[in-house]
Amino acid sequence: MKLLTHNMLACHIKGVKNNFPFMIEVTKVETCDADYDPEFLRHMFPRIVWPAFLQGAEQMGCRDGLPEAATEEMLQEDTFLKKFHHALLEVRLQEGALVCPETGRKFPVSKGIPNLLLTEDEC
């Protein structure tokens, strides 16, 4: 699972208000190559919640070189874009769990697939 996906996911247990972002529990992280596309990064940037992204990057161990706060101007710098691209798309969680920030419910991630199924009393 990429940090891009992590940034989009929110806990959907019924009644949970503080549902974003998921905490990441890491057992195994892998790095895969992905096509570098600055246009896509610029397109997605306004939609990324930066603090959540940083927190995810921290937990996945790829926080290095990412600024505390990012601005639109930085999107013109190639060095920043490369780092952003790497953390957003190339570092992937293989084994671990996503933890709901409110209830602490763990959603296991195995083979890179988060299991977001709910039990009957959660939906």
Partner 1 sequence: MGKGERPEHTAPPEIFYNEDEARKYTSNSRMIEIQSSLTERAVELLALPDDGVPKMLLDVGCGSGLSGEQLTELGQMWVGFDISPAMLDVAVEREVEGDVCLHDMGHGMPLRPGTFDGAISISAVQWLCNADKSSHDPRKRLKRFFETLYAALRRGARAVLQVYPENASQAEMMVAAAMKVGFSGGLVVDFPHSTRAKKYFLVLMVGTSTYIPQAKGLNGEDSNEERSEVKVHGRGSNKKRKMGDGKGSKGKEWIFKKKEQMRKRGHTDIPLDTKYTGRKRRHIT
Q: Which residues bind partner 1 (CB under 8 A)?
A: 1-2, 4-5, 7-12, 20, 34, 37, 39-40, 43-44, 47, 49, 111-118, 120, 122-123
Closest separation in Å from C-beta 4 to partner 1: 8
Closest separation in Å from C-beta 96 to partner 1: 14
Which residue number, 13 or 70, has a Cβ lying nearer to partner 1?
13
Q: In whole angstroms, what is the distance from residue 87 CA to residue 71 CA?
A: 17
Closest separation in Å from C-beta 28 to partner 1: 14
Q: Could you tell me the strand order of the sheet in which 106-110 lies?
A: 23-31, 91-99, 106-110
Q: In whole angstroms, what is the distance from residue 70 CA to residue 59 CA?
A: 19
With vertex at residue 44, the alpha carbon angle to CA 8 and CA 94, rounded to the nearest 5 degrees, is 45
Which residue number, 34 or 70, has a Cβ lying nearer to partner 1?
34
Strand partners, 24: 98
Which residue number, 82 or 108, has a Cβ lying nearer to partner 1?
108
What does DSSP assign to residue 2? B
